Structure formats: structure tokens, C-alpha cells
Amino acid sequence: MNSLTAARLVLQLRHWQLAMNELLKREPGRFCVPIHCALGHEAVAAATRLAMKPADRLLLTHRNMAFHLAHAGALEPLLLEYELSAAGLAGGRFGSMNLQNPAAGLVYTSSILGNNLPVACGVAMALKERGETAARVYVATGDGAIEEGAFWESLVLAASHSLNVCFLVENNDHSLATRIAERRCAIDLGRVAAAVGVDYELLTGNDPVQYAASLTKAPAGGGPIVREAMVTTFCNHAGPTPGWAADPRAIDAAGGLELEASPRDPVHVARRAIEEEEYQATNRFLTSLAVVVNAPRAAEAGAIGDMKKKEEEVEEKPAWRLT
Ligand SMILES: Cc1ncc(C[n+]2csc(CCOP(=O)(O)OP(=O)(O)O)c2C)c(N)n1
Ligand SMILES: [Mg+2]
């Protein structure tokens, strides 16, 4: 996937998440499961899509929306899953916080912080036993979740057994309503990784192609890697959260895909890889669709169908479609 395709994926992920945010804003009682948008996490999610080979696996946490969208390539199966519909991505059995999509390699998701880390080691060990040594196991975690003992134990376990695991830490300087300085000492993950002989890189700048290149690096002699991506989460924890600067209710999908004119926003970075004319056309097109999703329950009344119909009506379409 080249820079242009990756940038388009970032825009698509932002559009789908803005559509979800509209639903959560206007119909807070619509979903009976907690839903954690990941506005601002699009470059990391896109990078895993770029990086992963068919045999690779990805294990996720509560904040899995951007990852799932990137790998499912569509909003509809997620929206239906969040409504616990049998037509959803997992037949309505997992909802949001445990959602998995094994067909795409997304084999496990846990809402219990730190829980997916030892599971990832187990998956990697099984792959190693089977001789599938080239298959990498990616496991996402957060600056809050690494406070669990399971993170430290998993890192040592993976290093000791030379497991092909990529620990992908999304550091948004938040755990619920608290910032790192409010709850613990600083953790220099680069030095932690070095202390157990593990390769580490810090990911900043929200370029999915650069991130993917880092995620796919294989350390000499095998073993795990740690990648820490600095992320700005524009949507708070899961809806308005005390202690977070921005309120997701203030985000208006009709206001455009870019949320901040700075490299902290993956969409701002994606614009650089796209002709401005195409970006503006895509922006107008996608934001005109986002508000249409604000319809009665998707499963019953076909909000997605409305969105598709609207899509056909809009004359000025971008030259590309991902799905
Ligand atoms: C073992 C455990 N303790 C506490 C919680 C409650 N909890 C849910 S999300 C969260 C914050 C997680 O922060 P982080 O890992 O940085 O992810 P982020 O939400 O910032 O993406 C907490 C404390 C939990 N789910 N599991
Ligand atoms: Mg966090």
C-alpha cells in the first residue's frame, strides 16, 4: 500500500468514526454496550493494516474501533455488531469491547486491561510450536494498560522465549480521566525494552507508511519488539469524560474530517499525501454522508441503506472507494 492509498484509508477511518460519534451524540441510549471511538488513532490502525500479512494476528483492547474498521473495511458490520444484531461482524455475540474478526487475523480482544498481552504470548508460542515462525503477533495496549503486571511479565516472557510479538503501545497520556503525571512515575519504555534486550522505536508524526515499516522490522535473531505510538485521542474515553480537554459532543461530522490543523491529527498528515483538490472533494463527500447515518436503528430501519442511497445521489464523488 503506498502513501496515497494509506492516506485515503486514514480519511475513510475518520469518516466512519465521525459517523459513529454522531450516533453516540444524538442517540446515547441506542447501543447497550459501551463504545470507545478512537478518533486520532487512525494512523496506527492503518499501519497495522499495511503491516500485517495474512498469517499474522492482532489482539486488541477496549479501544479497538479504528483497528476493526481498518481490517473489516466497512462501517456496516461494526455498527450492526454494536447493536448486537445477528448480522453484525461477530453475529452480535461480542458487541464492542470483546469484538474479534478472526477471518482478518483479529483473533482476540479483551476489555480487561493487560489481559490480551499474555494471550498474545500464548498465540505466538503456539505459532512457534507449529513452525510458523514468520507469523508476527501484534498486540495493542495503552499507557494505562502497561501499568498492569501482565505487561511486564509478558515482555519478559516474550523476550525469554524469543516470541515474534510486537507490543504496540498507544500512548495518549490518558487512562480514563487521568494523565500519566497524575497517576504514576514516568516510564521510559525505550530503556525498559533495552534492559531486556528488546528492540524499541517511538512512533510520532502519524505517517502510516512510516509506522508500518517500523512495525514490520524483524530483530536480528528473532524475538519481540516494542513500538510506542504517541496518539492524541480526540473523543475522550467513551463519551464525555471529566478531565479530558475536548468533548466529543462538540465534534460535528459536518465540520469536516480534520479535527486539528497539526501533525497530532492523522487526517492533517494524510492531507499532505493527497492532492488538495481531491482532499476537498473527499472531505465534502464523506462529511455529507456522515450526518445521514443519524437515522433510527441501523438493523431495523436501514441507516446504512440510507447512507448508500445518499452516496448515489451525491454527484461530486471522490475518485476512489475503499469498499
Ligand atoms: C484490569 C482493569 N482495570 C481497570 C479497568 C477500567 N478501565 C477501562 S479502560 C481504562 C483506561 C485504559 O487506559 P489505556 O490503557 O491508556 O487506554 P485508553 O483508554 O487511553 O485508550 C481503565 C482503567 C479495566 N477495564 N480493566
Ligand atoms: Mg491511554
Q: Is the pLDDT of residue 174 over 80?
A: yes
CA of 32 to the centre of ligand 1 (A): 19
Mean pLDDT of 138-149: 98
Does residue 122 lie in a domain region? yes
On whether the CB atoms of residues 168 and 48 are closer than 8 A, the answer is yes
Q: Which of 189, 48, 59 is nearest to 127 (CA)?
A: 59
Q: Give ligand 1 pocket residues (Cβ under 6 A).
A: 62-63, 111-113, 142-145, 170, 172, 174-176, 237
CA of 169 to the centre of ligand 2 (A): 9
Does residue 318 lie in a domain region? no
CA of 175 to the centre of ligand 1 (A): 6
Could you identify the atom of ligand 1 that is nearest to the CA of residue 145? 15
Instruction: For residue 39, name the pLDDT band (cuts at 50, 70, 90).
Output: very high
C-alpha to C-alpha distance for 267 and 206, rounded to whole angstroms: 9
C-alpha to C-alpha distance for 222 and 133, rounded to whole angstroms: 9
211-236 tens-digit pLDDT: 999 999 999 889 999 999 999 999 87
CA of 313 to the centre of ligand 1 (A): 42
Q: Which of 302, 292, 264, 312 is nearest to 16 (CA)?
A: 292
CA of 133 to the centre of ligand 2 (A): 31
- Give residue 308's domain range: 3-313
pTM listed for this prediction: 0.92
Cα distances from 87 to residues 52, 93, 294, 311, in angstroms, run 26, 10, 19, 22
CA of 37 to the centre of ligand 1 (A): 14
Helix axis angle for 65-72 and 42-51, nearest 10°, is: 40
Does residue 126 lie in a domain region? yes
Could you identify the atom of ligand 1 that is nearest to the CA of residue 38? 21
Q: Which residue has the least CA distance to atom 4 on ligand 1? A: 113
Cα distances from 158 to residues 48, 131, 167, in angstroms, run 20, 16, 10
CA of 289 to the centre of ligand 1 (A): 32
Does residue 274 lie in a domain region? yes
Does residue 64 lie in a domain region? yes
Mean pLDDT of 11-33: 86
Read off the CATH number of the domain in which 114 is found: 3.40.50.970
* Sign of the dihedral through C-alpha 96, 101, 106, 109: positive
Does residue 320 lie in a domain region? no
Regarding predicted confidence, which is higher, 227 or 21? Answer: 227
The tally of domains found in the chain comes to 1
Could you identify the atom of ligand 1 that is nearest to the CA of residue 147? 15
Instruction: For residue 252, name the pLDDT band (cuts at 50, 70, 90).
Output: confident
Q: How many other CB atoms are found less than 10 A from the CB of residue 285? A: 17
Phi-psi region of 148 (alpha: psi -120 to 50; beta: other; left: phi over 0): beta
Q: Is the pLDDT of residue 321 over 80?
A: no
Residue among 168, 175, 183, 231 whose CB has most ligand 1 atoms within 8 A, to mutate:
175
Instruction: Give me the DSSP letters along 234-258.
Output: TTTTTSS-TT-S--GGG--GGG-S-
CB-based burial, 166-201: b 16+ in 10 Å, e otherwise: bbbbbbbebbeeeebeeeeeebebeebbeeeebbbb
Does residue 319 lie in a domain region? no
Q: Which residue has the least CA distance to atom 12 on ligand 1? A: 175
Residue among 97, 176, 244 whose CB has most ligand 1 atoms within 8 A, to mutate:
176
74-92 tens-digit pLDDT: 898 999 999 899 999 999 9
On whether the CB atoms of residues 84 and 34 are closer than 8 A, the answer is no
Please tell me the predicted confidence (pLDDT) of residue 31. Answer: 83
Does residue 89 lie in a domain region? yes
Q: Is the pLDDT of residue 121 over 70?
A: yes
On whether the CB atoms of residues 230 and 203 are closer than 8 A, the answer is yes
Q: Which of 265, 262, 303 is nearest to 14 (CA)?
A: 265
Could you identify the atom of ligand 1 that is nearest to the CA of residue 62? 9
